[in-house]
Structure 1
Amino acid sequence: MQTRRGALIQDRFPDLTAAARSLPNGFVLDGELAVLDSHNQLSFTALRHRATAGRNARALAAEIPAHFIAFDVLQSDGQELLQEPFAHRREVLEALFVDHQLGPPWTLCPSTSDPAVADEWLHEWTDVPGVEGVVVKSLTGRYRPGVRGWTKVRRRNTTEALIGAVTGSLHRPLVLLLGRYDTTGRLRLVGKTVPLKPAPARDLADHLTAAGPNHPWTGARFTASWNSRTPLEPVLVAPALVAEISADISQDHGVWRHPLCYERLRLDTVAADVPLLDEPP
């Protein structure tokens, strides 16, 4: 078992290694690992916990077992299939699941050639936490390692969050650090935006106010992205401005995994109108 960058990780997933005995020899599968949390929902945090496990990998496997969602098959019975069209590779993959009666932890990713069905999946299946959208692949496409030969279509929603800090400066904000209050009244970081375009940045600068000494993020440390250790040194601002944002639905406990898109400033809305963390908008 290896990551997209080639790192071998089978020692961290002994449950899947044991389950692989149900697979025939000579198969190479492409897919994604998934872990369910205590609420039976897909959890990126739990998956990362499993992926970084050391000596306690076996105990974690019993506590939070992993699943493998199969997208594609790259080799069958020792024969490489990279140059075969996706339609043929899909037939081989479906036959693998039928012929060997595969069940959990093996899951076959659903596939359709009906646009109406795909649209239904995009708008209804994405209500499940952890399911971001659909992937569009060409039926005649070959498998090209290291090249993205498909398109991911994510569901996106608009919602609101408080501007708690910015990178750059008050006069030239570059990225917004956004927060929401949790049920205890604590302002929590829930996401960062992509870099602002010049016009919205200029408009926003007219409304930003430097934070006072009691800002809830005083002394907090921020990093550039979800898995990054690169520190950010943002400028704290008074957490009173409400930003309307466009976001996909990939969240862990109310925190967005991917960058957000700033839409506009909601001067008609106050902090009390912003949804609380972990509560649906």
Structure 2
Amino acid sequence: SLGCQNNHVSLMKEFIGDYDPDRVKFLVCQDVEDEIEAGTAIVKDLCHYAAQFHRQPCDASLLTIGLKCGGSDGFSGITANPLVGEISNRLIAAGGTSILTEVPEMFGAETLLMNRARNREVFDKTVDLINHFKEYFMSYGEKINENPSPGNKAGGITTLEDKSLGCVQKGGRALVEYVIAYGDRATKKGLNLLQAPGNDLVASNALAAAGAHMVLFTTGRGTPFACPVPTIKISSNSHLAGFKRNWIDFNAGTIAEGESREAAADRLFQYILDVASGRVHAKSEALDKHELAIFKNGVTL
């Protein structure tokens, strides 16, 4: 904190409530003579605390993954998205958690999620999630059916429903257990829906904030971005995987070439466990590339 803005540290502490002072530190620049020196000392304290911990075996039930797609093409709904849906099914069957977001990308296929709601409360929350975003769009004079984007069309996507049906496949077949508000954290095991826009970076950051240990990002067009957690790029076609080897972590295009979805899921699930265990790094993680973006609405003062 600088020390004189509206979001002052003392007020922020009241808002966030209880926190672990060994893990969370605060620095007000105007309260110290040399903020670089003070900040370095804080980081050293955090490093010393972190050094007390050691890796230990755990099972996949403790893993939470975020599900996101961007730059889809005509293969996305055939290869990459159904593959990620299979991964979500396997993780949930093992007691883990997956989080599906980018609400505007669900328009036109939302009833597939509503029909899998755990109970009436979750069904109503899912309906509100969709309607809220439609009202948000219309409040700014935007059309709710302007997906797909030009890049999607160039890749072979034809209609809003075409893209949305591909999007919801990432959620697999599990029941929807809960709907998470933007900025909140996942507390229910199984499949969760998260309130966030279609924007790749904003939605992926929302997944990280919700507790996702990594984001599975399917793409038919490619992107170099990454959010604060490992962002695994899964290409829908083999051409992209070869053309952008520095971007793509896993090629789902092999499914269109004859590999079974089960075999591809075996390979991808093992890769996810390897990344979660620190045995390998996602491409963007190895480059130490990560970006932060938040969902803003209203007036900026």
The reply to whether TM is greater than 0.5 is no
Higher relative contact order (CA 8 A, sep 6+): 2
Name the structure with the higher helix share: 2
Name the structure with the higher strand share: 1
Of structures 1 and 2, the larger Rg is shown by: 1
